[in-house]
Amino acid sequence: MVTQEKSSLTGTTFNPLESSSRSYYPRFSVDPKVEVIVAFSEQLEPHSKSRYCPVGPVDQITWDSRLWQRIDYENIYLWSSYYDDRYSFRGNSYHFIRTIALVRERLTLDLTCYLWQQQNSTQATTVPVIATELWLDIWGKGSSVTLYKAYLFSCLVPHNLHYNVSGVSISPYDCSKPETYIPIEVPSQPNRAHPVASSTIANPLSTVESKSSLWLPGKQKFAICVKPLDFTRDISKRLIEWLELQFILGADLINIYLYSVHPSTYKVLDYYASLGKVKLFPLDLPGQLPNQPMERSQFLQNNIWQKRRLELLPYNDCLYRHIYTHQFVVLVDIDEVIVPVKDYDWKSLLDRVFTNDPKSIQVYPSFSVQNTYFLESYPSPLVPGIPSYLYMISHVARSTNFSIPGYAVKSFISTNTSLAVFNHYTLFPLYPAMKRNALISTSLAQLNHYKSECPRSMVKECSERFMKYWKVDKILWKYKKPLLKAINQAFNSITIMLSSSSRVAKSLVSVVLKNHFQLGKKASQLETCYRSFHGTRIVSISSSPVLSFADRPSKSDPPSNKKAKVVEIWHGMGPRELAKSSGLTIEQVRELMDLCNIKWINSVEDIKTMLTKLRYRFTIVTAPSKVVKESEDNISELIEQSREPEGKDLKPRPPIVTIMGHSNCRTRIWWNHSTHRSIRCCLG
């Protein structure tokens, strides 16, 4: 029921401890031209020289953007650090400080790690940094432009400092006062590791533990990691459905990293964060990378290789956040869901997997599920009795074929045996003898991937493998009743929360706006004040209320008095043809594209989205015919109506203004998402 992931055979077995201790040997089970790194047992024991350095306490930190620290005059940026006591060898425990970092171009110098027992200590213990680039050469070098590359910096903690490190600094100098310092949270007691001892790792075929020992009492089971969200459109309804489905399947906690999201989407996330079900982590970019929301979105869209490298940062940060709290992390996008075929939830699925193949947990740090597409372009069967806002359950047509093994998989990743991860499975195992991942049979689980159309980067595979063959698959319908109940409850709770907090938010915001150039309180004080009333972080201020569809109670749209217009559309239709066919002006079409977050028209699906926003009906034709024009006044009125549905039950929502700036900086930038302008002001 579990097979080794084919793509992992073309990779390498990685020694996380001594990057120079590698020998190359061909593996006979694969192409003899493929070289595989083999780590010998004497190389598994970590060692490094340490010494005391009397440099005095760190009194100056070099910050770059809000979240990143920059190493002295170098293009090396530090984000987060974690204590890791998982590795053991021959009965001995070895501890590391793991730091998530970003390096511009390539790392050309040796770095030193300063381990502090107290932040104000006058001396530190120094050890060399072991730098691991979070990338594989077989993926390619990327692009011709300058790349920022994700790294994992590992520092071996001397035995006399086990569980006694309060912070870490990293510097290019052997013994000189550093300009970085990241606090370290040390586990309160020694880590109770996964039931896979180091002796078992060295011999994967040894006797295994029973199934009951798989789930440790001190850990929760599943934490989900979501790469940074960057959406200008409102995805709140689909997001609620996705979140509630993950909880039904067995997710204990969902970690979501954020670039920029629609205000209504943030309100949904904020609601789940207040329940403790979701943790939100704002993310910005260091160095010369853009941070203005629109510019950053465009940059990441145009530089796919840079985007992929940057995604490795939050994924590995999420892994290390949960090495002591959860047994598996699941790295998925918000249009994906891992669905058990024979079981109801993920725990039952993995119980079945490890019962069928009990040795697999000792050989593989991650267990992958193959991808199948649920495309909007497939003919959509009627699904009576399902509300329209249940997007995933109402889409029941999927590709008959699964993606090729090794492509587009998502995995259950063990937090006990993974050194580093990437989007699909474990990138580097903690123990070199382990393989990267195994495939769970499609008879046991599948990855439902919901997209409007087949990815444009896979034209040949889409035409030959996915677009020709599709089938009806109602696998999610077994969750229909509990999911609908959970979604309705969430809608009601969010509505109540918004209505109860609007009065407090309005009064606080009016004070902020009138005095934003002469604020007597710092942002942190305002945040404390706001939290005491609202229970959340301060995220918005308002100048005048507007109406928001997301704030309206969950019920059907108000009926329209206007007769729906029928528009002819066809493949290859552009903005000017759409304007002529619909009676819109070209300026109104452009405005509608912006409203629907469509940068250019690539398919009939884009046109459908825009016409649905206008409540137009449409018919697909092979060639355009004579069109009927409507007056510009009537069309302008329809566009205005499409922005927010009519109804007296709408509640006011203020334009969002996000506070930006570093915690030790007295300057704040107020970014208005409605006008797309920023205001720089001095606080205190």
Match 């609908």 to its residue by tokens. Answer: 484
Q: For residue 458, what pLDDT is reported?
A: 84
Percent of the chain topping pLDDT 70: 69
Do both 13 and 104 map to the same domain?
no
Domain span at 113 = 44-191
Rounded Cα distance between 112 and 161, Å, is 17
Q: Which of 642, 644, 594 is nearest to 615 (CA)?
A: 642
pLDDT for the residue 569: 80
Torsion of CA 22, 24, 29, 34, to 10 degrees: 120
**Residue of 239, 178, 493 lying closest to 391 (CA atoms):** 239
**Strand 410-414 relative to strand 336-340: parallel, antiparallel, unpaired?**
unpaired
Query: pLDDT tens, 123-174?
Result: 999 999 999 999 988 887 666 678 999 999 999 999 999 999 999 999 999 9
Question: Is residue 583 very low, low, confident or very high in pLDDT (cuts 50, 70, 90)?
Answer: confident
At residue 617 the predicted structure's pLDDT band, cuts being 50, 70 and 90, is confident
- Average of per-residue pLDDT across 603-623: 73
- Residues 3, 48 within the same domain: no
Whether residues 181 and 61 share a domain: the answer is yes
Given a cut of 90, whether residue 437 has pLDDT beyond it is yes
pLDDT of residue 416: 96
What's the pLDDT at 449?
97
State the amino acid at position 182 in one-letter form: I
Stronger pLDDT, 204 or 313, i.e. the higher one? 313
E strands, 284-442, where? 326-331, 336-340, 366-369, 371-375, 397-399, 410-414, 418-421, 426-429, 438-440
When pLDDT is cut at 50, 70 and 90, the band that residue 580 belongs to is confident
Q: What is the CA radius of gyration of the chain?
A: 27
Tell me which of 29-43, 107-121, 592-606 is least confident.
29-43
Tokens at residue 58, please?
A: 């760190």
Task: Give the number of other Cβ atoms within 10 Å of residue 514's Cβ.
Answer: 9
Domain boundary among 131, 160, 191: 191
Label residue 608 by pLDDT band (50, 70, 90). Answer: confident
Residue 376 has pLDDT above 60, yes or no: yes
* One domain for residues 9 and 99: no
Helix (H) or strand (E) holding 393: helix 391-394
- Give the helix/strand (H/E) hosting 80: strand 76-89
CB 631 within 8 A of CB 565: no
pLDDT higher than threshold 90 for residue 577: no
pLDDT digits 0-9 by tens, 244-290: 999 999 999 999 999 999 999 999 999 999 999 999 999 999 999 99
Give one DSSP letter per residue of 85-106, joined into a string.
EEEEETTEEEEEEEEEEEEES-
Do both 353 and 465 map to the same domain? yes
Comparing 510 with 66, which gets the higher pLDDT?
66
pLDDT at 626: 44
Which stretch of DSSP H or E encloses residue 504? helix 480-514
Same domain, 139 and 57: yes
Q: What pLDDT shows up at residue 377?
A: 87
> How crowded is the C-beta side of 432, counted as CA atoms within 13 Å?
23
For residue 627, being part of any structural domain is answered with: yes
| Residue 20 phi, psi dihedral angles, 5° rounding | -95, -15
Boundary of a domain, candidates 473, 490, 525: 473
Q: Which residue has the tokens 């204990």?
A: 252
Whether 443 is covered by a domain: the verdict is yes
- Report the share of the chain in percent with pLDDT over 90: 50
CA 513 to CA 502: how far, in whole Å?
A: 16
DSSP string, 144-207: SS--EEEEEEEEEEPGGGTT---EEEEESSSSS--S--EE----SS-----S--HHHHHSTTSP
Report the pLDDT averaged over residues 198-227. 66
pLDDT band at 472 (very low <50, low <70, confident <90, very high): very high
- The verdict on residue 265 lying in a domain is no
Question: What was the pLDDT predicted at 73?
Answer: 78
Pair 347, 466 in one domain: yes
Tell me the pTM.
0.70
- Average pLDDT over all residues of the chain: 76
Number of H helices, E strands in the chain: 15, 35
Interacting residues of 239 by C-beta distance below 8 A, sequence separation 6+: 265, 268, 269, 334
Highest mean pLDDT among 318-327, 448-457, 468-477: 318-327
pLDDT at 660 over 50: no
Note the pLDDT of residue 140: 76
Read off the pLDDT of residues 311-338 as tens digits, 9 standing for 90 and up. Answer: 999 999 999 999 999 999 999 999 999 9
Whether residue 57 sits in one domain with residue 11: no
Residue 274 in any domain: the answer is: no
Asked whether residue 11 falls in the same domain as residue 117, the answer is no
In a domain, 552, yes or no: no
To which residue do tokens 């073309």 refer? 10
Say how many domains are in the chain.
Answer: 3
CA 391 → CA 87, 374, 466, 500, distances in Å?
43, 11, 21, 29
Residue 103 placed within a domain: yes
CB-based contacts of 572, cutoff 8 Å, min separation 6: none
| Domain match, 14 and 62 both | no
Q: 644: which DSSP letter?
A: S
Residues 375 and 469 in one domain: yes
**In degrees rounded to 5, what are phi and psi of residue 242?**
-65, -45
Q: Which two tokens stand for residue 245?
A: 């489905």
- In this predicted structure, what is the pLDDT of residue 662? 36
pLDDT value of position 227: 98
Q: Are 93 and 190 in contact (CB under 8 A)?
A: yes
The band of 213, judged by pLDDT with boundaries at 50, 70 and 90, is low
Q: 123 and 11 in one domain? A: no
Residue 591 inside a domain? The answer is: yes
What confidence score (pLDDT) does residue 513 get?
36
Q: What is the pLDDT of residue 599?
A: 60
132 assigned to some structural domain? yes
Last residue of a domain, one of 439, 473, 507: 473
Q: Tell me which of 44 and 538 has the higher pLDDT.
A: 44
Confidence at residue 652, expressed as pLDDT on a 0 to 100 scale: 38
**Half-sphere exposure of residue 78, counting CA atoms within 13 Å on the CB side?**
29
Q: What is the pLDDT of residues 394-418, one digit of tens each?
A: 999 999 999 988 789 999 999 999 9
